[in-house]
A = this chain, B = another copy of it.
């Protein structure tokens, strides 16, 4: 596929969380030239573990776009080993969060650079350059902003405590974000310069809302062509805890419609799995195969979405 198919789109910005968003952005990187694509990544799941600063979504996007991610599981690297993890268990250290040996190098590198005063944006740029991703990948903000989960039993948990520590089992009552309220200047600049903004099929509550919650982001999006992609297929989330979050937070079954309504007036177009387009109205709907396979299939999907977005402009 020639890279100049979308030469009218000087700048496409994708808002992404982990797996689903990362796979779609991988497709975008196949459909666009590097300079046409900027991925703004959720950092509200970031946390400190073993004294290291871990950025799960940034790393999933980086590993996926550099072709290094584990092909099946939703996190980590292909051909990963877990020798440090085994030793940490023997030492009696914390072992509820799986960290692979190669992955550890990423966290060690990042943590040391941050301690020396580099911004998360700058470290992210360095890491991606070293691993050979070519588009621009940036954290939504430089200082920590963190998701907190209030459960229906009244627990107030850090996101990873809930998601990994408690396997996302306690039903969610409320989600809030703490910490940094400003996006990085680079994010503002990228959004302002965007010809098309794509909300990737990530979790709207814990991957996209943290980005939308930052000062000024919603306001910029309201003046842009914004396409959403449903992370719900036939009433189920492809990955992660969204399938249970929608009923818990909205009192209705999980559906593509519920996600569309969640984004509301931000959307100028919405992409859903074929068969999920019934009962949707208000904005143009594009039904297609949204469940992504390999890189070629991701590129196929991204290309369709870019065509849809181009028609909306």
Contact = CB atoms under 8 A, between A and B. Distances in A.
Interface of A: 50-52, 80-81, 83-88, 90-93, 100-106, 108-109, 111-112, 115, 126-127, 130-131
Interface of A is mostly: helix
B87 A105 contact: yes
A81 B87 CA distance: 12
A52 B111 CA distance: 10
Nearest to A132: B90
Given A81-B81, A92-B130, A87 B112 contact: no
A106 B101 CA distance: 13
Given A92-B130, A101-B81, A101-B101, A87 B115 contact: no
Nearest to A129: B92
Give the 6 A-B residue pairs with the shortest CB-CB distance, closest first: A87-B105, A83-B101, A51-B112, A87-B102, A88-B105, A101-B101
B90 A130 contact: yes
A84 B111 contact: no
Contacts of A85: 105
A212 to B, nearest CB: 31
5 contacts: A50-B108, A50-B109, A81-B83, A93-B109, A104-B104
Contacts of A86: 102, 105
A105 B92 contact: no
A109 B104 CA distance: 13
Contact of A108 (B51, B102, B103): B51
B91 A130 contact: yes
A190 B103 CA distance: 42
Contact of A91 (B50, B87, B111, B131): B131
Nearest to A88: B105
A50 B105 CA distance: 9
A109 B83 contact: no
Given A87-B102, A102-B86, A102-B87, A93 B108 contact: yes
